[in-house]
Structure 1
Amino acid sequence: MGSFVKHVAGYALLLGSVIAAPVAQEVESFIEVAVAKSNSLRVDLGYGIYEGRLQNSTGLNVWKGIRFAAPPTGNLRWKAPQPPATNRTVVSATSFGPNCPQAYPSSPNPPFVPGDEDCLFLNVYAPPTLKSQKLPVLVWIHGGGYGLGDGKQDLSELINDNKKAFIGVTIQYRLGAFGFLSSAEVKAIGSPNAALLDMKFALEWVQTHIAKFGGDKERVTISGESAGGGAVMLLGIAKDGALGTTLFQNGIAASPYLPPQHDFNGEKPTLLYNEFASRAGCGNASNKLDCLRIKDSMTLQQINAEIVTTQVYGTWPFLPVTDGSFIKQRPTSALEKKLVNGRNILVGNNANEGPLFVPKGAINTVEDLKAWLRQVFPSLTDADVHTILEAYASSDAPVDPNAPKFATNGLGPATAVNVSQVATGQQQRANNIYAEATFVCPSYWLNTAYTSKTPSSFHYQYSIPFASHGDDVPGYFGPATPNQGRDFALAFRQIWGNFITKSNPTLVGGPGDIRWPEWTPGEGAYMMNLNTTGGMPYEVETQFGVVTQFKEPGLRKYIMPVNAWTWEGGRGKRCEVWKALADKILI
């Protein structure tokens, strides 16, 4: 997630306000700026002192590698994060902290990527401001299926294309078995969902310290893509909504990932816990968790990666669970009851989320499709499989290798159920089934959960071909890809920026800008379709096949409201099928 396999291998002051101020205020402000320069961006957090650096290329003050929690090692493995020890030595905050231990999703011959368990660090990107200013704050939670990724995303382009109107924070959290090992024993003497508690702890750090960087703790937007978007969803339902706005006000969830969520002591998490312990030599220990806490880190990292390879293609084994305290119920249940934290939500999905997670060229017949469905969703009955195939209606003929492949426009008559630029027939059915069950329908349900509040809920689809999972990320963070172009990338970034600063993504002041429709549940649901028009065609070889894209000259943004329910041949109705199956497939 977070684009996993395919993507791996100076001050700017608001002079107008200063000039308009009285002379005494003007002098005081310039003195304040001079002092800020001479202090060279040293911030005292109480437990530590971090000295950042002005990036001349971006005009932003940046602090990298700020420790926000104690190392979760030794006796702190699989426990809730703890405050850092006090160290008053000034730290030069110019280098990122180490990555957490990593594991690629289940796929043929994945590489082993070691990490460091001492990885709970965050980074701050802040425009130079006067001390009297308090800017909104964006917190970015990286994706990666809860098993891969890091907090090194550069937020500079997003901030600068919004006239330096907010501060950015990127965080890291424990991954894989280190963040999501779960069983009754873990619950008794540790913490299931330790990684989610890391995220919560980082947000508490923001509440305590962000004012020292010029941020407003009352205007925090949490954001993420893929598993990061899923984390936004889970933080949204944490404590059954009892957290309110204590940690954040807004959420941006791009392609929110919703895999099966078992109970903390369910059969699968317990089997995984026992297998992890057994491989580490702790299988016969009277207290497996205490035994694991004294094991060598590299041994545990290798075991984590090995267990991943035993899973269904494109998945990870160690995932969020229903723990009964922080995450009290599965997302579909909590969202249906509208038990959510925060006030406003902006949710997005991509046009072709599925191909990254479905084995390419492996699903040629209806029998292949049925077998794959039972592998991905093992609790389905024959009747359930029949219901799904009826919802994703198509010919039962085998895949025709000569059938034309092309991008659909969402309006029909051809739809993404049956065809895309990389697949047709049964393979495309599988691609679209996975996309809607795991990303798109959960994104719709997340929007609906926020419609009971007087503030607002908004949705978009990123549709620039090929619009596979993760293709949207360069659009808002940069550098933009050739098929996005400057016109679209600026609009996309300002959509995010407007939501961060105004809680409304509507673009204003440009030709073709349209008021963004608020989400309405059911057949009246509308979203913005984010695409481009014009440009010069060119072909790109992707891991899914050759696709046609468009680039400058002549490339322009094309953003318009569309009915989300009827989109792609009735997506809203298909999402109702998945909602009816939610308890069975544990979402």
Structure 2
Amino acid sequence: MLFSFLTLVAAATAAPSAYNSQPYSSVAKRQSSASSSLQVDLGYSVYQGHTNSTANLNVFQGIRFAAAPIGNLRFQAPRAPTTNRSATISANSYAPQCPQSPSSHPPPVTPVNQTGSSEDCLFLNVWSPSNGTNLPVLVWIHGGGYGQGNGRQDLTAIINTNGNSFVGVSIQYRLGAFGFLSSDEVFRKGAVNAGLLDQHLALQWVQEYIHLFNGDPTRVTIAGESAGGGSVMLQDMAYGGSLGTQLFINTIAASPYLPMQYGYKDWVPSQSYYAFATAAGCPPSMPYLPTNGTPIFECLVSKNTSTLMNASATVSQEGSYGTWAFLPVTDGVFVQDLPSRQLGRGQVNGLNILSGNNANEGYYFTPQNIKTEDQLVQYLRVTFPLLSNNDIAKILYYYPSTNASVDPNTPFFATSGNMGATALNESSDGTGQQQRADNIYAETTFVCPSYWLAEAYSNNRNGGQGYKLQFSIPPSEHGGDVAGYFDYPGQYYSVDFTTAFQRIWGNFITTSNPAISNAVANGVSTNNVSINAASSFPPYSIYSPNQLDLNTTCPIITTLGGIEYCNSSTAVNQFSLVNAYTWEGGRGTRCDFWRALGELVPE
């Protein structure tokens, strides 16, 4: 009885508010019958969009989906907008982006240009085919390490390439300390993972309103790359995977970013909280609160925006190389467990997933000065502070290499993935110990999460499937795939490759199956209809770990900074079906190893 009583008291004083499945119920009632294809009445406001006649799209930019998270709403869960019907609002330009907090790098800390940034940044954009009705919907969640980026990605090209067969939506969410501040005090007085809650509210907005933009709320696909892909993963896991298909049926996770995911009041997020408070002028200098003193949280709420912007950007740059200070945490409510564990249990929302990674994900996030095994071990100790010497020895075992120093004259080259040299020791970006470090970071942070997602959806309890691909056009670094599915065909990669990649996405969005025709897979310019692996694209499973490898020939190579880039307009598609488990010298085995270490990483 005492235990039950204490449990109830704890829940009453510390737990976040109950889940609200209809946050727009009080503001969604339309008060006008004057809506047209370009004027949309959302109940709380009326918006006027514009037409892109070349693309045959009606475009709406800067639609508010949440109340301004300022004043007493700072560091709180997002709320539905307040009513503002005094005039029709023009939706012809993007809204301000959220305050930016860049990743850490070698000293000194550099000022961040916050022009065009505002705390009042919870807006979204819609691209709606002019003549469409009841179309599937793509919702894009941007990346940027949960500290950078915005929702200004133009979705015109991918919609056009797929015959204007779906509606596009891009969203913004709070970043840095504004969206991911975490500590016991924030949990009790505000909301941890506020940025994820922003995304969730935007998905609820889509359910409430997308029919007004010719969209079908029962056929929503959410997609993202890097931290956007990580966000997709955490929305897949939201509330323990108990939401089913309430918000979406499909997800696309490109290079899903999985940094260390600590508990909301663990030492790392708490350390970032106190560092941020100190930088903002709210230092925890007293052992306990004196009479008439101001608690840290209330002090932070009282500060002006510029002070907090500077504090967030400064602290975010002061951590270990290639990391961000403010990140998602396990809160026991929205994010209930580590991805390595929950995905292993197959507890996910939605039905199907298309998950992918790039061949060389780690280059941008790893110090490029690792030449000996001793330097590698030192890097591992800094990167994985909870691991013991025995754990680090296991990493070296699973990532074998000679312990000789790197020969600076050794050439770099892209591996084939299934024969010869592997990503363990060789890539377009590095070799030896440096490549060993790059690949360790790549696999634990981006690659293995894409494997775990594919496995979680494989013949899942909701009746869906997982599909797996890899983007391999050299140098295939982190983010290199984005131009493939969002640029116009031929703008960066060849017309043939971009068209095929965008059709893979489009078919998955519209039919839940990423397979494309042989003619498109081989190249729309080739008139080649011979059998191509992308025309079947079987699901991924443990017993048949199918992965579609997306590559091209490289008739023209551009060298920038010593790295070779293949972006020729005359490149020929080279798509192949491979075994993801044995790929790159046993990548599946190494991902199983990282899952076993999940609690200690933690991920």
TM-score where L is the length of structure 1: 0.90
Residue 484 of structure 1 deviates from its aligned partner by: 2.3
Partner SS, residue 340 of structure 2: helix
Equivalent AA in structure 2 for residue 470 of structure 1: G
Secondary structure in 2 matching 1:551: coil
Instruction: Report the CA distance between 1:104 and its aligned residue.
Output: 1.3
Deviations 1:84-138 (A, max 9, x none): 11111101100100010001111245440322000000000010125xx200000
Measured in 1, the distance between the counterparts of 2:50 and 2:242 equals 38
2:414 to 387, 403, 407: 407
Aligned twin of 1:559? 575
How do 1:428-507 residues align onto structure 2 when only pairs under 5 Å count?
428-451=435-458, 452-453=460-461, 454-479=463-488, 484-507=493-516
2:53 to 52, 56, 68: 56
Given that residues 474 and 481 in structure 1 are in contact (C-alpha distance below 8 angstroms), is that contact kept between their aligned partners in structure 2?
no
Shift of 1:416: 1.0
**Counterparts of 1:241 and 1:378, CA distance in 2:** 30
What RMSD in Å do the two structures reach over aligned CA positions?
1.6
What SS does structure 1 have at the residue aligned with 2:68? coil
Q: Structure 1: how far apart are the matches of 2:303 and 2:539?
A: 52
Whether 1:540 and 2:559 are equivalent positions in the alignment is yes
Cα distance, 1:574 vs structure 2:
1.0
Structure-1 separation of matches of 2:149 and 2:395: 33
Residue 367 of structure 1 aligns with an amino acid whose one-letter code is D
Residue 526 (structure 2) pairs with residue 519 (structure 1): no
Give the conservation status (yes or no) of the 8 Å contact 1:335–1:446.
Answer: yes
Unaligned runs of 5+ in 1: 1-35
Partners of 1:434 and 1:261 lie apart in 2 by 15
- In structure 1, distance between residues paired with 2:429 and 2:328: 32
C-alpha distance 204-550 of structure 1, shift in aligned 2 (>3 A): closer
**Offset at 1:422?**
2.2
Once the two structures are superposed, residues 52-102 of structure 1 have per-residue CA deviations (whole angstroms, 9 ceiling, x without a partner) of: 000123221100000000010110011110111111110110010001000
Measured after TM superposition, the shift of residue 276 of structure 1 is 1.5
Alignment partner of 2:364 out of 331, 350, 356:
356
Structure 1, 375-384 or 425-434: larger mean CA deviation: 375-384
Q: Is the 8 A contact 1:219 1:249 kept in 2?
A: yes
Distance 2:491 2:159 in 1: 21
Query: Runs of 5+ in structure 2 lacking a partner?
Result: 1-32, 285-292, 520-528
Q: Deviations over 1:120-158 (max 9, x none)?
A: 00000010125xx20000000000000000000000000
Q: How many residues align?
A: 544
For 1:538 and 1:338, the matched residues in 2 are separated by 42
Distance 1:261 1:487 in 2: 39
Task: Specify the alignment match of 1:324 in structure 2.
Answer: 332
- Distance in 2 between residues matched to 1:271 and 1:383, nearest whole Å: 26
Q: Give 1:283 shift.
A: 2.5
Whether 1:190 aligns to 2:210 is no
1:549 aligned partner: 566
Residue-by-residue CA offset, 1:375-394 (whole Å, 9 max, x unaligned): 11111111111111111111
SS of structure 2 residue aligned to 1:340 = coil
Q: Distance in 2 between matches of 1:120 and 1:548?
A: 37
CA distance in 1, matches of 2:191, 2:312: 18
- Structure 1, residues 513-570: CA drift from partner, whole Å, max 9, x if none? 3301111126x3111000112x52222204xx321525133x2211111000011111
SS of the aligned residue for 2:143 comes to: coil
Contact 2:475 2:563 in 1 (8 A): no
Letter in 2 for 1:56: S
Q: Tell me, yes or no, if the aligned pair for 1:346 and 1:457 is still in contact at 8 Å.
A: yes
Using the size of structure 2 for normalisation, the TM-score is: 0.88
Partner of 2:423: 416
Q: What SS class does the counterpart of residue 517 from structure 2 fall into?
A: coil
Residue number in structure 1 paired with 2:523: none
CA 1:426–1:42: 2 relative to 1, 3 Å = same
Determine if contact 1:537/1:549 at 8 Å carries over to the other structure.
yes
1:474 Cα offset (Å): 0.6
Q: 1:38 to 1:70 in 2, by over 3 A?
A: closer
Q: Is the 2:355–2:450 Cα contact (8 Å) retained in structure 1? A: yes
- 2:16 aligns with none
State whether residues 141 and 228 of structure 1, in contact with CA within 8 Å, keep that contact through their aligned partners in structure 2: yes
TM alignment of 1:247-258, pairs within 5 A: 247-258=247-258
Partner of 2:236: 236
Q: Which moved more, 1:57-66 or 1:118-127?
A: 57-66
- Report Cα offsets for 1:406-434 as digits up to 9, x if no partner: 11110122011111122110000001111
**Cross-structure match for 2:80:** 83
The question of 1:530 aligning with 2:550 is answered: yes
Match of 2:315 in 1: 307
More divergent stretch after superposition (378-387 vs 162-171): 378-387
Q: Distance in 1 between matches of 2:280 and 2:475?
A: 43
SS in 1 for 2:173: coil
Structure 2 counterpart of 1:546, one-letter code: I
In structure 2, what is the Cα distance between the partners aligned to 1:243 and 1:561?
33
Matched-pair contact (CA < 8 Å) for 2:341–2:595: no
- 1:437-475 deviation per Cα after TM superposition (whole angstroms, max 9, x unaligned): 100011100111112232211000000111000000010
Contact 1:40–1:53 (CA under 8 A) maintained in structure 2: no
Amino acid at match of 2:455: T
Task: Give the percent of matched residue pairs that are identical in Structure 1 and Structure 2.
Answer: 50
